[in-house]
Amino acid sequence: MSYQENYQKWADFEQLPDYLRQELEGMDEKTKEDAFYTNLEFGTAGMRGYIGAGTNRVNIYVVRQATEGLAQLLESKGEDVKKRGVAIAYDSRHFSPEFAFESAQVLAAHGIKSYVFESLRPTPELSFAVRHLNTFAGIMVTASHNPAPFNGYKVYGEDGGQMPPHDADALTDYIRAIENPFAVELADLEESKASGLIQVIGEAVDVEYLKEVKDVNINQDLINEFGRDMKIVYTPLHGTGEMLARRALAQAGFESVQVVEAQANPDPDFSTVKSPNPESQAAFALAEELGRQVDADVLVATDPDADRLGVEIRQADGSYKNLSGNQIGAIIAKYILEAHKTAGTLPENAALAKSIVSTELVTKIAESYGATMFNVLTGFKFIAEKIQEFEEKHNHTYMFGFEESFGYLIKPFVRDKDAIQAVLIVAEIAAYYRSRGLTLADGIDEIYKEYGYFAEKTISVTLSGVDGAAEIKKIMDKFRDNAPSQFNQTDIALLEDFELRTATALDGSVTELTTPASNVLKYHLTDGSWFAVRPSGTEPKIKFYIATVGETLENAEEKIANIEAEINAFVK
């Protein structure tokens, strides 16, 4: 069906709400094409897009269609699964509560039980709720760290991780088979609440989550002596972190926490920031201002659904340095392993997990403690799968998992990125360095001196619409078929093609990769540097990851600049 036909189908639907009809009538031809040329697709973690009218937008009908597909998947698995039901949470974005309760109404129309949070809650608490309530699935309405015009919909499996590929593929098939999203039935909300098919949840689950959080910190004596009066500035960036982070920090014994109050209230417009992304130093502007006022040691920020954590650390001159996702991962991994080793609680079969595009610095740290590093595809569900494997086979003990995109998980009572847990461990790490008369900035320097000067850079290029999708494919094809044999005057020692599941060495020999197929290319250079290229699974972007090792940090960063310039020249 053409975009014009899809548009007309919406225009002809008489029950279309006024706000969507007004948007339809105001569309120019280019906007019509982008809104209707395709259906919003499920990626590595569900679907995400602009809020608005259209099949390629997030709106009540796209949400109903997705939930109808989920309902049909659950029905195919039998009555027990329907009774176990679905946990549903949502963040502070426009239409998030509406999308959450409409999802529950679609499920109720199929006789499927749902547990819906009374107000906004973090993504990691949704993951926890799936496990705690023994539901078969979970829905999180969120667009994570994207700007205000976005919203999204993530689906979780019964282990609390994002739905694994087998069920996610089946779900996608069910969704695609629904020809008319306008015909999806909704049960009456109040009747469903009265019958118990829709159960509203809240504080009772918060309390259970916070009980589990008590085990995240490792050295309580350290916190009691050096953490109680340590000045921490926290900002939830207008999102869900305010629901739990402040309580979790107080519970752990961090008493001198200052919250950026202007960013503490939920705000779907994220009015104090251009983008609520803790990866960006710009998002820390108000936190830095407060930090200077109170002389804070560390600044922490969580994104709107509180699954990602950003950190800034005070330097010797009083300014604040924004840490990369890889630096945060390195300092957490180092501390967890060192603290457990010191306490005599580091297991012989300790294991860590990270995405294939995250720093190898953490691999070196893990190996120095006799721990095993597992590399998985991008998407935290693959780390969740490793945790499940460890528990079933009893072959390894999970210690830490992370992705360079600012996602961390310390304790596996959650099976997704958890910024609440990460806030707690970063605060403890800051107390640890304070106990030694050092700062987190000194801690990063110590790691580089011990393990080598690693530098990384991620470049995201947005290419929207029909032309953008074609351009992303063209770039991937060019790398796959015609990549140079050198970058930065250094030979490519190994090419990993995760879509073909092959690893081709410099001598031409080929071995098979064991990961699931994924459209990622990773080039390893003979000096230990590497770069990777992949389309985003949830956004109209292509991403380039560059990682180098140098004799100094400046040397490593110079290598990155050279490789980046050569990639840009190759892509043009």
Residues 126 and 87: beta-carbon distance below 8 Å = yes
In terms of C-beta density within 10 A (0-12 exposed, 13-18 middle, 19 or more buried), how is residue 250 classed?
exposed
Per-residue confidence of the chain (572 residues) as pLDDT tens digits?
Answer: 899 999 999 999 999 999 999 999 999 999 999 999 998 887 656 899 999 999 999 999 999 999 999 999 999 999 999 999 999 999 999 999 999 999 999 999 999 999 999 999 999 999 999 999 999 999 999 999 999 999 999 999 999 999 887 888 899 899 989 989 999 999 999 999 999 999 999 999 999 999 999 999 999 999 999 999 999 999 999 999 999 999 999 999 999 999 999 999 999 999 999 999 999 999 999 999 999 999 999 999 999 999 999 999 999 898 999 999 999 999 999 999 999 999 999 999 999 999 999 999 999 999 999 999 999 999 899 999 999 999 999 999 999 999 999 999 999 999 999 999 999 999 999 999 999 999 999 999 999 999 999 999 999 888 877 788 889 999 999 999 888 889 999 999 999 999 999 999 999 999 999 998 999 999 999 999 999 999 986 678 899 999 999 999 999 999 999 999 999 999 88
| pTM of model > 0.85 | yes
Domain boundaries, the chain: 38-205, 220-451, 453-571
Angle of CA points 425, 259, 305, to nearest 5°:
65
Q: Is residue 256 annotated as a catalytic residue, yes or no?
A: no
pLDDT, position 16:
97
Q: Which helix (H) or strand (E) holds 505?
A: strand 502-505
- Per CATH, is 453-571 categorized as 3.30.310.50? yes
Report DSSP state, residue 367. Answer: H
Q: Looking up tokens 């960036």, which residue turns up?
A: 237
The Cα–Cα gap between 61 and 50 comes to: 14
The Cα–Cα gap between 20 and 245 comes to: 36
- Report domain 38-205's class: alpha beta
Q: Which amino acid is at 469?
A: A
**Contacts of the segment 31-34: beta carbons below 8 A, 24+ positions apart:** 32/3, 32/4, 32/7, 33/3, 33/465, 33/466, 34/464, 34/465, 34/466
Strands 114-117 and 198-201, sheet pairing: parallel
pLDDT, position 126:
98
The Cα–Cα gap between 318 and 292 comes to: 8
- Per CATH, is 220-451 categorized as 3.30.70.100? no
The Cα–Cα gap between 240 and 121 comes to: 5
Catalytic residue among 96, 144, 405, 518: 144
Q: Looking up tokens 């950003």, which residue turns up?
A: 310
Fold agreement between 38-205 and 220-451: yes
Strands annotated E in 308-391? 309-314, 320-322, 350-355, 372-376
